[in-house]
């Protein structure tokens, strides 16, 4: 759904940035705002340098230089896409989502999804409470102790316990008068089919792992067996109206901020793998819902990083998973690496037996996933013509699916060398239709995605008209961007200072002129500022915050370089006024020189007395300005 600018503005204005950030760091009043320690995991500090302005609804860290508004904070801390952030904030402020062209069937489906989310939330609380009530000598506590999981980690992932009884959760639902039909559709309970009426619990005597979407809502559950004689070892929720396993990565809600700060995602296969790595301090981790990644999961990861390391089990399932994941990661424009753990250990076993430092070294040694997979294919390779053709047929959908031609060319050079083939021959072989009997292809309608599901990549379209430039059609719900890239420094300085306070904006209004600003993006922002200031000065204070999500480089909206290193308490209004006037002077000089250049070009074909007089006046204005 694409949200209107009015709806986005209403949602942002209905939420308080201070309330959100206060959940993650303690803020104390200081000078003109609030200060606290930076909440982002890649910036560990002892002296608070994280500034939040409640009046402007923006934040800025004087240490790591992260800045933005409430939407950018949710993006960087939780990994929310823009539409997810707006939807989450709308729910938090009890603002109804905008009406669309939905049918009655769509409305009914949305209502059902809401009820399933609620019963999943209830189930999460129920399982967590069941675990909390167990004694220290209970077998589930002994199991958790054996796995080395701390209370902090257990709480972070809301790990719980499904009791042994057949109908514990059914009883809980009846006590709370929750319709059993909703819990059945959520696949939390099952209707009896042995001729008796009633329901029984889907999960019994299992350690429970809630599966959350990126917005922190429980969409499904995974249950690990506690009795070794029970099967299966892991029991997972079937797909429901709120859960498609190809679109979810386990643990991502807890780890998105670490993935973004590390600029790397470590991908594992199991819930316990992800939890164990998190416990060991390797927190930029997430787990797939099957043995390989999907195209949808690749797109989710790309919102946070393009660098992916897959920790692969050394068994055949791990090898098969790597082969299936490789083309989807490359088609998703990611940079995948991979490593098979020694001794056929899974990540959980390895980190508990060898330690976090050893696993960090293994991750650092990860090689390009294409060549990790290819090395498996090259076992016993003798370079015979038929072998080369078979391998090229396997590589064809992988290499031809890489969207970046530069990366594809580098891969082809390396592949040609490893195959002992000439690069021109390899290029021709990849473009020639041959036997594909032995080639790897993902089914077009496979849940793992693949070439059949990959949208066509069109050429990027750029337009500077109206200050809007699109590299590609905006994602659903994303606002059109105002491009500030390439704007003159003087214009950016004047703009940032003018937006910083009403006093500065009044200086701008009395000293400057909008026509001096020739950069389309800067001109568009200042035009909006003039309009807002004239209509509602109170709303002007939050203008920079409201514009953050619409600007290609949000940091340029904030004049942080004009604040002291300790934050807003060092604010100097007189010095700032001087800087603003100096910036406006440079902007005007640039404007006059551009007018002078244009006029000289016109004089070459039309040397009229009027234009000659204008030329002389412009030169005088520039001289006075530079000497003044």
**Least confident window among 127-131, 301-305, 440-444, 566-570:** 440-444
Kind and range of the H or E run holding 388: helix 385-400
> Considering the chain, what is the average pLDDT of its residues?
83
3-state secondary structure of 336: strand
Segments of the chain assigned to CATH 1.10.860: 489-627
**Two structure tokens written together for 172:** 């809980």
Tens of pLDDT, residue by residue over 304-329, are 899 999 998 777 777 888 888 999 99
Tell me the mean pLDDT in the region 500-504.
84
pLDDT at 1: 58
pLDDT at 317: 77
Edge-to-edge strand list for the sheet holding 234-236 = 160-162, 206-212, 218-225, 234-236
Tens of pLDDT, residue by residue over 595-607, are 888 888 888 887 8
- Whether the CB-CB separation of 71 and 86 falls below 8 Å is answered with yes
Work out the end-to-end distance of the chain between its first and last CA atoms, rounded to an integer number of angstroms: 54
Tell me the mean pLDDT in the region 388-404.
91
**Two structure tokens written together for 443:** 């089914």
Q: Nearest Cα to 395, choosing from 408, 379, 380, 381?
A: 408
Say yes or no to pLDDT of 456 above 60: no
Q: Nearest Cα to 186, choosing from 250, 114, 125?
A: 114
Instruction: Report the alpha-carbon distance of residue 116 to residue 112 in Å, rounded.
Output: 6
Tell me the mean pLDDT in the region 517-542.
83
Q: Nearest Cα to 592, choosing from 616, 621, 613?
A: 621
- Whether the CB-CB separation of 259 and 277 falls below 8 Å is answered with no
Tell me the mean pLDDT in the region 344-369.
92
Q: State the DSSP string of 203-231.
A: --SEEEEEEE-TTS-EEEEEEEESSTTSS
Say yes or no to pLDDT of 449 above 50: no
Segments of the chain assigned to CATH 3.40.1360.10: 246-455
pLDDT at 240: 94
CB atoms < 10 A from the CB of 611, how many? 14
CB atoms < 10 A from the CB of 601, how many? 9
489-627 is a CATH 1.10.860 domain: yes
- Whether the CB-CB separation of 259 and 286 falls below 8 Å is answered with yes
Say yes or no to pLDDT of 237 above 80: yes
Say yes or no to pLDDT of 266 above 80: yes
Percent of the chain with pLDDT over 90: 38
Name the DSSP class of 483: P
pLDDT at 453: 36
CA distances from 547 to 258, 478, 483, 497 (A): 26, 13, 12, 15
Tell me the mean pLDDT in the region 189-203.
87
Burial class (CB in 10 A: 0-12, 13-18, 19+), 582: middle
Kind and range of the H or E run holding 36: strand 33-36
484 Cβ partners below 8 Å, 6+ apart? Answer: 492, 519, 521, 522, 525, 551, 552, 553, 556
pLDDT at 291: 73
For strand 335-340 and strand 307-312, is the pairing parallel, antiparallel, or unpaired?
parallel
Question: Phi/psi at 40 (nearest 5 deg)?
Answer: -75, 135
Tell me the mean pLDDT in the region 220-235.
86
- Whether the CB-CB separation of 557 and 25 falls below 8 Å is answered with no
Instruction: Report the alpha-carbon distance of residue 76 to residue 262 in Å, rounded.
Output: 12
Q: Which CATH superfamily is domain 108-243 in?
A: DNA primase, catalytic core, N-terminal domain (3.90.980.10)
Tens of pLDDT, residue by residue over 280-297, are 999 999 999 877 788 999
Kind and range of the H or E run holding 59: strand 58-61
The CATH class of 246-455 is alpha beta
Tell me the mean pLDDT in the region 493-499.
88
pLDDT at 193: 84
Segments of the chain assigned to CATH 3.90.980.10: 108-243
Segments of the chain assigned to CATH 3.90.580.10: 5-92
Tell me the mean pLDDT in the region 56-73.
86
**Two structure tokens written together for 245:** 């396993």
User: Could you tell me the pLDDT band of residue 479, with boundaries at 50, 70 and 90?
Assistant: low
* Burial state string for 291-306 with b = 16 or more CB within 10 A and e = fewer than 16: bbbbbbbbbbbebbbe
Bond preceding residue 232 cis, omega within 30 of 0? yes
Instruction: Report the alpha-carbon distance of residue 479 to residue 9 in Å, rounded.
Output: 11
Instruction: Report the alpha-carbon distance of residue 558 to residue 52 in Å, rounded.
Output: 12
Instruction: Report the alpha-carbon distance of residue 447 to residue 63 in Å, rounded.
Output: 44
Q: Which CATH architecture has domain 5-92?
A: Alpha-Beta Complex (3.90)
3-state secondary structure of 282: coil
Name the DSSP class of 482: B
Kind and range of the H or E run holding 169: helix 168-175
Q: Which span out of 28-42, 99-113, 540-554 was modeled with the highest average pLDDT?
A: 28-42
Instruction: Report the alpha-carbon distance of residue 291 to residue 144 in Å, rounded.
Output: 25
| Higher pLDDT pick, 446 / 259 | 259
User: Could you tell me the pLDDT band of residue 75, with boundaries at 50, 70 and 90?
Assistant: confident
pLDDT at 3: 79
The residue length of the chain stands at 628
CA distances from 434 to 59, 249, 390, 466 (A): 58, 37, 10, 49
Instruction: Report the alpha-carbon distance of residue 607 to residue 588 in Å, rounded.
Output: 25
Tens of pLDDT, residue by residue over 458-472, are 333 333 333 333 334
SS3 sequence of 65-80: CCEECHHHHHHHHHCC
Name the DSSP class of 461: -
Say yes or no to pLDDT of 569 above 80: no
């Amino acid at each position: 759904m694409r949200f209107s600018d009015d709806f986005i503005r209403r949602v942002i204005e209905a939420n308080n940035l201070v309330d959100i950030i206060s959940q993650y760091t303690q803020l104390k009043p200081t000078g003109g705002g609030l200060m606290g320690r930076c909440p982002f995991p890649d910036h560990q500090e002892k002296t608070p340098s994280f500034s939040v302005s409640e009046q402007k609804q923006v934040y800025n860290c004087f240490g790591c230089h992260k800045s933005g508004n409430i939407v950018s904070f949710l993006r960087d801390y939780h990994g929310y896409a823009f539409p997810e952030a707006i939807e989450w904030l709308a729910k938090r402020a009890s603002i109804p989502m905008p009406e669309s062209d939905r049918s009655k069937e769509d409305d009914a489906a949305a209502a059902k999804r809401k009820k399933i989310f609620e019963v999943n939330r209830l189930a999460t609380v129920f399982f967590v409470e069941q675990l909390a009530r167990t004694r220290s000598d209970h077998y589930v506590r002994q199991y958790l102790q054996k796995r080395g999981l701390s209370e902090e980690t257990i709480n972070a992932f809301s790990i719980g316990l499904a009791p042994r009884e057949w109908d514990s959760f059914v009883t809980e639902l009846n006590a709370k008068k929750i319709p059993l039909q909703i819990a059945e559709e959520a696949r939390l309970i099952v209707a009896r089919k042995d001729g008796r009426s009633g329901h029984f619990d889907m999960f019994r005597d299992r350690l429970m792992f809630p599966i959350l979407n990126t917005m922190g809502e429980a969409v499904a559950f995974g249950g690990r067996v506690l009795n070794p004689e029970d099967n299966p070892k892991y029991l997972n929720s079937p797909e429901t109206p709120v859960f498609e396993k190809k679109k979810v990565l386990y643990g991502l809600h807890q780890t998105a901020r670490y993935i973004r700060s590390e600029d790397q995602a470590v991908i594992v296969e199991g819930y316990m793998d992800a939890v164990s790595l998190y416990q060991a301090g390797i927190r930029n981790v997430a787990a797939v819902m099957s043995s390989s990644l999907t195209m949808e999961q690749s797109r989710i990861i790309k919102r946070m990083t393009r660098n992916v390391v897959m920790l692969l089990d050394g068994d055949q399932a791990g090898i098969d998973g790597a082969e299936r994941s490789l083309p989807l990661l490359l088609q998703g424009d990611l940079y995948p690496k991979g490593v098979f753990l020694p001794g056929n250990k899974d990540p959980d076993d390895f980190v508990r037996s060898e330690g976090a430092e050893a696993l960090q070294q293994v991750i650092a040694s990860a090689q390009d996933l294409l060549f990790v997979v290819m090395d498996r294919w090259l076992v016993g390779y003798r370079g015979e013509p038929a072998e080369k053709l078979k391998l090229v047929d396997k590589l064809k959908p992988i290499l031809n699916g890489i969207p970046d031609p530069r990366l594809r060319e580098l891969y082809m050079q390396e592949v040609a060398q490893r195959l002992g083939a000439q690069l021109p021959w390899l290029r021709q072989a990849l473009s020639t239709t041959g036997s594909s009997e032995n080639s790897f292809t993902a089914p077009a309608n496979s849940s793992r995605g693949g070439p059949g599901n990959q949208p066509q990549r069109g050429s990027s379209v750029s337009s500077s008209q109206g200050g809007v430039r699109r590299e590609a059609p905006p994602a659903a719900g994303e606002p059109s961007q105002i491009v500030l890239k390439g704007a003159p420094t003087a214009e950016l300085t004047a703009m940032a200072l003018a937006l910083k306070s009403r006093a500065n904006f009044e200086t701008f209004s009395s000293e400057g002129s909008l026509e001096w600003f020739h950069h389309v993006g800067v001109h568009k922002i200042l035009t909006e500022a003039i309009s807002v200031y004239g209509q509602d000065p109170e709303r002007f204070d939050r203008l920079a915050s409201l514009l953050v999500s619409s600007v290609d480089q949000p940091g340029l909206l904030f004049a942080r370089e004009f604040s002291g290193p300790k934050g807003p308490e060092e604010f100097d209004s007189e010095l700032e006024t001087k800087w603003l006037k100096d910036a406006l002077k440079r902007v005007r000089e640039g404007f006059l020189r551009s007018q002078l250049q244009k006029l000289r070009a016109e004089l070459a074909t039309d040397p009229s007395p009027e234009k000659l007089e204008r030329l002389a006046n412009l030169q005088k204005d520039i001289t006075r300005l530079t000497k003044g």
